[in-house]
């Protein structure tokens, strides 16, 4: 799905950037110019960053529990 139409940035691109180490919407904006034109994508981009960070944290916690239990 395209999140930022003005700069043709997809949700996959944003998720990949987070997986590669981006930790905030500011970093996503700096990398891809998300929100730099009309700004209509910012709420969606912000929600995507939060959602993906939360999912990553949940996976990390589950993995940590598995490692501690082993």
List residues binding ligand FES (CB under 6 A).
Answer: 4-7, 34-41
Q: How far is the CB of 3 from ligand FES (least distance, A)?
A: 7
Residue (37 or 62) nearer to ligand FES, CB: 37
Which residues share a beta bridge with 4?
9
Q: How far is the CB of 50 from ligand FES (least distance, A)?
A: 17
Neighbours of 20 (CB within 10 A): 8
CA 54 to chain centre: 10
Phi, psi of 9 (to 5 degrees): -110, 125
Q: How far is the CB of 37 from ligand FES (least distance, A)?
A: 4
């Amino acid at each position: 799905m395209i999140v930022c139409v003005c700069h043709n940035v997809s949700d996959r691109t944003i998720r990949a950037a987070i997986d590669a180490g981006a930790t905030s919407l500011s970093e996503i904006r700096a990398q891809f110019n998300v929100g730099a034109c009309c700004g209509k994508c910012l709420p969606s981009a912000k929600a995507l960053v939060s959602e993906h960070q939360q999912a990553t944290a949940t996976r990390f916690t589950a993995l940590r529990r598995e490692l501690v239990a082993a």
